[in-house]
Amino acid sequence: MSSTAQLLRMLGECRVFDLGRTLRNGMAQSPSHPPFRHCLDRRHGDIVRSDGGSAAADLISLGCHVGTHVDALAHVSQDGRLYGDADAFDAQAGGRFDVLGVHALPPFVGRGVLLDVASLLGRDYCPATYEITADDLKSAADEQQTPLSEGCAVLVRTGWGLHFDDRERFVGIESGVPGVGSEGARWLASQGVALVGADTTAFEVLAPGAGTSLLPVHRILLVEAGINIVETLNLERLSDTGTREFVYVMAHLDVYGATGAPARPLAIAAKDV
């Protein structure tokens, strides 16, 4: 049997979980970014070919940090510096980031671990202002028997994704949003992980009424540790099926010089998981 046939046979014995959110007008998103817009730019009947055929076509616009997306290392600076001590102002000259833009992030295929913190707490979802600590993350990994490994992708489930269809609640400007705190972020970085992600708009805990006015976890991960962040994931099916370890596959739009890009991550796991 050829290696391709063996691979296809293996995939036939797996379950594929789509971790991305469907892009649609009016969906929940951080108010800091331009919204997603989709329209039919050309409708059937606008142009009819001589044989009676017609085609419809679309137009979309969106910010690079809308829907399920990945943050490039150029997304956040601290005191004018980017990851690797690159000068943020020089790097953005010309209206794009020649260094540390999202084009510099290759597609990811590797081990993925879901740290289901909401389930660890015995809840459907974490409270609105809950700060996920290093102990929470360690406890989830221990209870699940899924120790983190260097180069893996770690997805943190707060359960807040259950509110995705309630735009105001999901964004949580007034209530706050649960997420990883600074201590938890430093612990993740110490494990040598390659990517992190969560089911919220900002990955990190957001205080009531504060929005994204302060983003210390983004600074720790993007600027200090060089770890990309995936946001607005759909992690409910992984949680519901008890899937905690899988092959994580993620490719994003390869936009040269951008600070982030839409992505459609997949988790591939054995069917008996």
Q: What is the residue extent of each domain of the chain?
A: 17-28+64-270
Q: Given the DSSP bridges, would you call strands 245-250 and 108-116 parallel, antiparallel or unpaired?
A: antiparallel
pLDDT for residue 210: 85
- CATH code of the domain made up of 17-28+64-270: 3.50.30.50
SS3 262: strand
- Phi and psi for 40 in degrees, rounded to 5? -80, 110
The residues near 83 (Cβ < 8 Å, ≥ 6 apart) are: 73, 100, 222, 223, 224, 225, 226
CB atoms within 10 A of CB 183: 17
Alpha carbon of residue 159 to chain centroid: 14
- In angstroms, the CA 136 to CA 157 distance is 11
**Residue 236: pLDDT over 80:** yes
- pLDDT by residue (tens digit) across 114-155? 999 999 999 999 999 999 999 999 999 999 999 999 999 999
Whole-model pTM: value is: 0.94
Q: Given the DSSP bridges, would you call strands 266-270 and 245-250 parallel, antiparallel or unpaired?
A: antiparallel
pLDDT for residue 1: 60
Q: Are 268 and 72 in contact (CB under 8 A)?
A: no
- In angstroms, the CA 45 to CA 250 distance is 38
